[in-house]
Amino acid sequence: MDRDSPEVRLSKTLSWILRHGATSENLPIREDGFIRVDDILRSNRIKPLGLTLEGLKGIVRADSKQRYSLVLEQGDGTHLNYIAVGENGTEEGHWLIKANQGHSIKTVQLELKPILDISDIPSRIAVHGTTRSAWKIIETEGLSKMKRNHIHLAQGVGGDSVISGMRKSSQILIFINLQKALDVGIKFYLSENGVILTEGDERGYLKTEFFDRVEDAKTKEAIEGWEESVCTC
């Protein structure tokens, strides 16, 4: 039985379309990840749910992880954040929405801020949350971007006021020596909502040699063999 509320189901459907399903749903998605709101509201999956522009604003406003960007694109190509539009009252242009990260659609190339040094990350921490079953594979193969465009890392864990980048259900925490990876040419970026993203190596992996410490998410005790301290310098 689906235990999600109608609001949660709607948000999940929206997230799926923006990150993964736009192409299969025949919705034009731009290289920067934006989709016209009119197209979203008329889509086969969203229209039956009765979503409106005001309802969409409510979803974006209520999302604690800041997964979405909702803007009004004006004739000259400039973007006004939906909050700013509400303040000045103008609505000339067309509404666009995108997911700030998490895409598997290969044509999407988000404008991301390059990370050139560990100091470019406000928290100076990069950590990936996963499950115990997934860890059994990751421990030998490393982190994989799989079908997504990037591997996702958070700037801390739940109690660190982290906005996004990690599921609350994570059982294992993998702390990454990001500077070591940068030094050998692995590229990292910051998304608009503060998630650390990397495509990994040429195979789409972030190898175990870049793991500093691995610990149980609940007890904070290190997993045997992965007891190195976490560098926050």
pLDDT-derived band at 9 (thresholds 50, 70, 90) equals confident
Do 144 and 182 have their domain in common? yes
Q: Does residue 87 register a pLDDT over 80?
A: no
Do 146 and 64 have their domain in common? no
Do 143 and 209 have their domain in common? yes
Do 204 and 119 have their domain in common? yes
CB atoms within 10 A of CB 60: 19
How far apart are the two ends of the chain, measured CA to CA in Å? 47
Question: By three-state DSSP, how is residue 117 classified?
Answer: coil
Q: Which of 42, 69, 99 is the last residue of a domain?
A: 99
Q: Please tell me the distance from the alpha carbon of residue 10 to that of residue 204, in angstroms, as a whole number.
A: 31
Burial class (CB in 10 A: 0-12, 13-18, 19+), 19: buried
Q: Does residue 125 register a pLDDT over 80?
A: yes
Do 21 and 64 have their domain in common? yes
Q: Which domain holds residue 127?
A: 113-216
Q: Please tell me the distance from the alpha carbon of residue 30 to that of residue 32, in angstroms, as a whole number.
A: 5
Whichever domain contains 192, its CATH number is 3.20.170.30
Residue 203: predicted pLDDT: 96
Beta strands, E only, 148-227 = 151-153, 172-176, 188-190, 196-198, 205-206, 211-216
Q: Look at the pTM and tell me if it is higher than 0.75.
A: yes
